[in-house]
Amino acid sequence: MKFNSNNSKLNYDEPIELNNGVYWIGFVDNKHSLQCNPYIIIEGDEAVLIDGGSRPDFSKIMMKILQIGLEPSIITRLIYHHYDPDLCGSISNFEEIIGNEDLKIISHSENNIFIKHYSVSSPLLSITNMNYEFIFKTGRKLKFITTPYSHSPGSFITFDEKSGILFSSDLFGSYDMKQALFLQMDEDCSVCNDYTKCGHGSSYCALNGIFYFQRKIMTSEKALKIALDKIKKLNAKVVAPQHGSIINNEKSIKIVIEKLQELKGIGIDGYIQSDGNE
């Protein structure tokens, strides 16, 4: 199945299937510039929830899951790419409504130190003890790739081999009030050198929001480069970040990676380059 990437024809009040049983189950937040994107993968009689969202957003996310027609009890794993509350705040809500004794939380051991303070009942699994993968009963495989200090010590990303979708967590995320679900880029975007204003007169540049977010959230240029080098080897067809727009074609993914590799002023490097003056 090929997903519908025409933003004008999307119904954001419903779950949106991306490909092969992968759904975006977020919502449009017109009040804040940091839109969150939880995802769910359904494979046979199993489901895995990725970065489920904050406690205040739980009812909206749960409604999307129910709209799919999914019985919550078939959710067997909750994946959290780091420990921020915008991902993990609703863990106890999900544990209660899923009510599955086999439910387990997957993250990195560095994250689980903090995630345990959100969870009430679920065992915490570390990707380091799972051979960096989760395999559904059908054989469908999720691969976990560590991205240390992008932005936390235990940060990682998840690659779904079946759909070719990379769940990139904060990598490729953005701050933007005008963002659409799917990233919109023109041919000229790849050669543009000033993303604070559009050469075509548009009031909106999606790349500017991505660059701003990466500078603020990632810890350093070196950390981001290490993560991007790993991502390039995956040849992902789609990049689905936790914030901002989904990058839904390989050409755009390549352009954004190239631009991020050239990006300066990231994290502590940006602080040093400004002589410590905020």
Measure Cα distances from 201 to 159, 196, 205, 206 in Å. 36, 11, 10, 14
CB 138 within 8 A of CB 76: no
| 122-155: pLDDT as tens digits | 999 999 999 999 999 999 999 999 999 999 999 9
DSSP lists the bridge partners of residue 42 as 47
Give 49-90 pLDDT, tens digit per residue. Answer: 999 999 999 999 999 999 999 999 999 999 999 999 999 999
Average confidence (pLDDT) over 31-39? 79
Q: If pLDDT is split at 50, 70 and 90, which confidence band does 175 have?
A: confident
User: Among residues of the chain, what percentage have pLDDT more than 90?
Assistant: 73
User: pLDDT at position 223, please?
Assistant: 97
- 264 CB-near residues (< 8 Å, 6+ apart): 221, 270, 273
Nearest CA to 15 among 60, 59, 58?
Answer: 60
Question: Which helix (H) or strand (E) segment is 105 a member of?
Answer: strand 104-107
Instruction: Determine the Cα–Cα distance for residues 119 and 219; give it in Å rounded to an integer.
Output: 27
- From residue 5, give the alpha-carbon distance in Å to each of 19, 61, 82, 184, 209: 11, 21, 28, 10, 20
Give the per-residue pLDDT at 105: 98
DSSP 242: S
| Alpha helix positions (H), the chain | 58-68, 85-88, 91-98, 109-115, 206-217, 221-232, 250-262, 268-273
Specify the pLDDT at position 10: 86
pLDDT given at position 2: 46
Q: Which two tokens stand for residue 56?
A: 């205040």
What residue ranges define each of the domains in the chain, with the CATH number in brackets? 7-273 (3.60.15.10)
Q: How many CB atoms lie within 10 A of CB 273?
A: 12
Report pTM. 0.92
Q: Residue 117 pLDDT > 70, yes or no?
A: yes
pLDDT tens digit sequence for 216-265: 999 999 999 999 999 999 999 999 999 989 999 999 999 999 999 999 99
* Pairing outcome for strands 141-146 and 16-19: unpaired
pLDDT of the residue at 1: 40
